[in-house]
Chain A
């Protein structure tokens, strides 16, 4: 034992540091991962600190200060009834609400939708995929079901589900989750199918390890890296789909400040107030870009087998 340990130590000294890092260590040094994670962290800080950063209440209506361009100051009554000047850095919308505050608060909705959709889709897809991949008789049925779901274009499926459940944050999240599930199931299943042929799984079966334990202890860890990568992509696309649904007027209720809603509101008067689409669009595009770059970086480092695929 001691001889082995000293050999390890020696090898450690010979090899340059980066090569000794494991996949997660390498990921943390990847430029894309660092860049994406930094932008994402910034968005999370903005979302959490929204009450501190917002200059006024994002739902406060000011009829005397409608459709103003960026950097316009309006005098309005505050909660105490006093007249105070309010600076509108990103202008106001057609109800006189402060676009800057709405954009800042909109980060909350976008991030919440992105993260919760990714988490729920992966949780559900993981369970279905593990079970389908391991039990052959279930596999055929489950995969036909998934093929059917995948045959319906994602946004269309989400639109249909929103119509069934009616608008609201939980309904929107679930509607975006459903089209993502088949993709997670397929990914998990493909990992399970390769791992179950491994000698260590065979060994585990031969010593009588119960199936759930095999799945949790031997198969599950192998799905971790590809699922993290897939999760970031799901998060990015969920943020986009939420914005699309809200923009179409069938997503989150219009009074909630979400980036899609701000843009939907700005649609009608686009010629007068293009900033209502521009500012939330920049925030949304930048957030999604950051998550996508993060995903690409994680894919390259955690799951190199996938790096050649689209």
Chain B
């Protein structure tokens, strides 16, 4: 197992390196002078020259990459010319809303999708199963922002229960935070629920046919206990894997949801950066999201080996 963990950790390095190379090349792919692109459209010749010097743009590409990655590893992600702040500072400010939105979404999705998926598998072939499956196909087909505006229209405009837009920082009190996070999280959770409910159903359905389920039933366990202790536990590995892979979906959805609900998070930051062609921000946000995605999946993979004694590599 130790060998597996080491190998898995080592395998992450080339992936992260590839991401870094891509993010680095992003600027060099743009037509024109990277220094001028970084500086933005309102920069003067001196500013452009400073950037050229700082990035070492006259040096060979490999050296440039080494300088850049060295800076990144020290937490220096460059300076945004639009906001006149360091990118690291900007990301620090914008991290909380995105993180909270993602965590709340995940919480809602797991609490709804797993019981739903288990129920659909248990009631295989009935209307409950069909409705769940129909929902999970539909959840993949409706864009996040349409769901968002639909929920805003019903719960904020027509019923007036919740605020239309905005984000309440945790520091400003929990009630305000919860009131403002409910709609965005519910919006974003739809596609995630669809994904998790689908795999939960498939995975539990497979396990329900096993002999030990029959044994459990024969020894008189209640159906709830059978489902929770025997079926769901044994079906957990694919479910957790999909939750991990689904984070890519979650990140994409968060970018859109933040725009719909006017949440000042990383997604909003990157969209504004694209409109302003503020490349240091675009690069940094891709880096942050991708590294988070890779690391979460790494942790999930490692967690299997620790928690599921059947898995041996």
Q: List residues of chain A with CB under 8 Å of any chain B CB.
A: 144-145, 147-149, 151-157, 159-160, 162-164, 236, 240, 243-244, 247-250, 263, 270-271, 274, 277, 281, 284-285, 288-289, 292-293, 296, 308-310
A234 to chain B, nearest CB (A): 13
A156 B289 Cβ-Cβ under 8 A: yes
A245 to chain B, nearest CB (A): 9
Q: CA–CA, A250 to B273, complex, Å?
A: 10
A151 B16 Cβ-Cβ under 8 A: yes
Contacts of A310 in B (CB 8 A): 195, 198-199, 202, 242
Select one of A156, A270, A284, A309 contacting B252, CB under 8 A. A156
A253 to chain B, nearest CB (A): 13
Count class of interface residues, chain B: 35 or more
Given contacts A147-B15, A153-B247, A310-B242, 11 further A-B contacts (CB under 8 A): A151-B18, A152-B19, A152-B22, A152-B289, A152-B293, A159-B255, A247-B256, A247-B259, A271-B157, A288-B143, A292-B137
B286 A152 Cβ-Cβ under 8 A: yes
B142 A285 Cβ-Cβ under 8 A: yes
Which of chain B's residues has its CB closest to A155's CB?
B252
B22 A292 Cβ-Cβ under 8 A: no
A250 B19 Cβ-Cβ under 8 A: no
B18 A247 Cβ-Cβ under 8 A: no
Q: List residues of chain B with CB under 8 Å of any chain A CB.
A: 14-19, 21-22, 26, 29-30, 137-138, 140-146, 149-150, 152-153, 157, 195, 198-199, 202, 206, 242, 247-249, 251-252, 255-256, 259, 270-271, 273-275, 277, 279, 282, 285-286, 289-290, 293-294
B234 to chain A, nearest CB (A): 16
Select one of B242, B248, B275 contacting A154, CB under 8 A. B248
B101 to chain A, nearest CB (A): 15
B22 A149 Cβ-Cβ under 8 A: yes
Per DSSP, chain A at the interface is: helix
B213 to chain A, nearest CB (A): 18
Decide: A160 near B146, CB < 8 A? Known: A152-B22, A250-B271, A292-B140. Answer: no
Contacts of B270 in A (CB 8 A): 156, 159
Contacts of B26 in A (CB 8 A): 160, 164
Which of chain A's residues has its CB closest to B148's CB?
A277
A153 B290 Cβ-Cβ under 8 A: yes
A156 B19 Cβ-Cβ under 8 A: no
B18 A149 Cβ-Cβ under 8 A: yes
**Can you offer 22 A-B residue contacts whose CB atoms are under 8 A?**
A145-B18, A147-B14, A147-B15, A148-B15, A148-B19, A151-B16, A151-B19, A151-B293, A152-B293, A153-B252, A155-B251, A160-B286, A164-B29, A236-B141, A244-B143, A244-B256, A250-B271, A263-B145, A277-B149, A288-B143, A289-B141, A309-B202
A247 B255 Cβ-Cβ under 8 A: no
B137 A289 Cβ-Cβ under 8 A: yes
Select one of B141, B143, B248, B259 contacting A292, CB under 8 A. B141
Contacts of A147 in B (CB 8 A): 14-15, 18
Closest 7 CB pairs of A and B: A148-B18, A155-B252, A281-B146, A289-B141, A288-B141, A153-B248, A153-B251
Q: CA–CA, A296 to B138, complex, Å?
A: 12
Select one of A153, A156, A163, A249 contacting B277, CB under 8 A. A163
A118 to chain B, nearest CB (A): 16
Q: CA–CA, A155 to B290, complex, Å?
A: 12
Contacts of A154 in B (CB 8 A): 248, 252
A285 B141 Cβ-Cβ under 8 A: yes
B135 to chain A, nearest CB (A): 12
Max count, chain A CB within 10 A of own CB: residue among B146, B198, B242, B270: B146
B298 to chain A, nearest CB (A): 11
B292 to chain A, nearest CB (A): 10
Which of chain A's residues has its CB closest to B18's CB?
A148
Select one of A263, A289, A308, A309 contacting B146, CB under 8 A. A263
Which of chain B's residues has its CB closest to A280's CB?
B146
Select one of A236, A240, A308 contacting B202, CB under 8 A. A308
A295 to chain B, nearest CB (A): 10
A155 B146 Cβ-Cβ under 8 A: no
Which of chain B's residues has its CB closest to A145's CB?
B18
A151 B259 Cβ-Cβ under 8 A: no
Select one of A149, A243, A249, A277 contacting B275, CB under 8 A. A249
A198 to chain B, nearest CB (A): 28
A35 to chain B, nearest CB (A): 11
B19 A160 Cβ-Cβ under 8 A: no
